[in-house]
Amino acid sequence: MKVGTKRAKRLGFIGVGAMGLPMMANLVRAGFAVRACDVDPARLAAAVAAGAEAAASPREAATAREAVLLSLPDARAVEAVVFGPGGIAEALPGSPRAPDPGAGPRLTVIDLTSSRAETSRRVGALLAGAGGAFLEAPVSGGVGGARKGTLSIMVAGDPAVMEAERDVLSAIGTSIRHAGPLGHANLVKALNNLVSTANLLIAAEAVLIAARAGLSVGRFAEAAQATLGASDALGRKLLDNLLRRAGTSRFRLPLLYKDLSYATELAAETKAGDVVSGLAREVVAEALARFGEDGIGLQAAHALEAWEADGPGALPPV
């Protein structure tokens, strides 16, 4: 979008934390007029410094906006921001608390949170009843992808609404895929993180075995990456983050545990079995108990701790 050729689309952005702030900043750089909201004054100040206008509440962030994006910790936070006091629901046409009831543009809420299918359906029903629209759009790619604007975005909801908001989505991501009706994008996200975690845990064990057997870890990884054993966990997550110290993988353990819990609940509901998924969740739960809220996903791999215990001198060349 080029400012000056037409009026910049007016957006709200709620939740400007580690992921939200760089996504919001990319929207500002793309020419959108953004009004930001966050419970943390320091984060809100950072958003203003990045070019946003400050809002005192989700209601204010959504007032007279064409779209509002959410980047929140979990489904409970989404419910609070939408339905709670001072929430988005109060800004919708027809609400007695709307600044100008019955007026204002059609509102689309784009939820970038890794949330729950039932929450998305509930919010979607509210928006539809008020003449608005809802897109469930969890993202993958980490803080690095958020900064670069190269996130993968899994979108659920009306495909026509997705196309109408493609200019917004394209400012924060490069892969935008429609996953189906509301609820399906969060299912895809949870299962994606399940696969990613299982890959990480087994790749870490394989690398530890290679190191203790005296193999060049780099040569092992290169060989494996040219076979059916290839995985991003073995390449980018392990080699870049641990050996080359060049990675940026900082996915926090509480968020990972949340996604794996959702995946294992789905396994139980569908009677699909949870032999591997349940084990992955247990390992992450143990890591969360040990490393706390600020722990990162890489710390869930037990093999990495044994590797560190061997001492830096025990590591073979990459």
Could you give the domains of the chain? 10-181 (3.40.50.720), 187-314 (1.10.1040.10)
Residue 23: phi and psi, rounded to 5, are -65, -45
pLDDT for the residue numbered 190 = 93
Asked if residue 172 lies in contact with residue 27, where contact means CB atoms within 8 angstroms, the answer is yes
Range scoring the smallest mean pLDDT among 18-22, 25-29, 130-134: 130-134
Separation between Cα atoms, residue 215 and residue 223, nearest integer Å: 12
**DSSP-derived secondary structure for 11-47:** EEEE--STTHHHHHHHHHHTT-EEEEE-SSHHHHHHH
Statement: residue 17 has pLDDT above 50: yes
Pairwise CA distance, residues 212 & 225, whole Å: 20
pLDDT, residue 302, reads 65
CA-CA distance, 239 to 85, in Å (whole number)? 47
Mean pLDDT of 111-136: 94
Question: What local confidence, expressed as pLDDT, does residue 308 receive?
Answer: 58
pLDDT(113) > 60: yes
68-82, 176-190, 218-232: lowest mean pLDDT where? Answer: 218-232
Q: pLDDT exceeding 70 applies to what percent of the chain?
A: 84
Q: Could you report the per-residue pLDDT of 32-72, keeping only the tens digit for each?
A: 999 999 999 999 999 999 999 999 999 999 999 999 999 99
Q: What is the pLDDT of residue 303?
A: 62
